[in-house]
Amino acid sequence: CFLSLQKREISNFDYLMYLNTLAGRSYNDYMQYPVFPWVLADYHSETLNLTNPHTFRDLSKPMGAQTVERKHKFIQRFNEVEKNLSAQCHYCTHYSSAIIVASYLVRMEPFTQTFCSLQGGSFDVADRMFHSVKSTWESASRDNMSDGMPSLLPTANWFLPLRSNTQQFSRCMQDGTVLGDVQLPPWADGDPHKFILLHRQALESDYVSAHLHRWIDLIFGHKQYGSAAVEAVNTYHPYFYGDKMDLNNIKDPLIKSTILGFISNFGQIPKQV
- Which whole-number Å values give the CA distances from 243 to 129, 149, 188, 221, in the listed order? 31, 21, 40, 14
Tell me: pLDDT of 83 over 50.
yes
Q: For 101-114, how does the pLDDT look when each residue is reduced to its tens digit (9 = 90+)?
A: 888 888 888 888 88
Binned at pLDDT 50, 70 and 90, residue 61 comes out as very high
Question: Per-residue confidence at 151, pLDDT binned at 50, 70, 90?
Answer: low
**pLDDT (mean) for 3-12:** 74
In this prediction, residue 43 carries a pLDDT of: 94
Secondary structure of the chain as H, E, C letters: CHHHHHCCCCCHHHHHHHHHHHCCCCCCCHHHCCCCCCCECCCCCCCCCCCCHHHECCCCCCHHHCCHHHHHHHHHHHHHCCCCCCCCCCECCCCCCHHHHHHHCCCCCCHHHHHHHHCCCCCCCHHHCCCEHHHHHHHHHHHCCCCCCCCCCCHHHHCCCCCCCCCCCCCECCCCCECCCCECCHHHCCCHHHHHHHHHHHHCCHHHHHHHHHHHHHHCCCCCCCHHHHHCCCCECHHHCHHHCCHHHCCCHHHHHHHHHHHHHHCCCCCCC
Q: Could you tell me what percent of the chain has a pLDDT over 70?
A: 84
| pLDDT over 50 (residue 84) | no
Which string of b and e fits 43-52 if b means at least 16 CB within 10 Å? Answer: beeeebebee
pLDDT at 207: 95
Residue 91: strand pairing partners: 236
pLDDT-derived band at 186 (thresholds 50, 70, 90) equals: very high
Q: Which pLDDT score is estimated for 3?
A: 60
Cα distances from 46 to residues 173, 190, 204, 213, in angstroms, run 26, 11, 21, 29
**Residue 54: which pLDDT band, with cuts at 50, 70 and 90?**
very high
139-176 as b/e, with b when 16 or more CB fall inside 10 Å?
bbbeeeeebbbbbbbbbbbbeeebbebeeebebeeeee
Residue ranges and CATH numbers for the domains of the chain are 1-266 (1.10.1540.10)
| pTM, rounded to two decimals | 0.86
Q: Is the pLDDT of residue 59 over 50?
A: yes
Q: Kindly tell me if the per-residue pLDDT of 267 is higher than 50.
A: yes
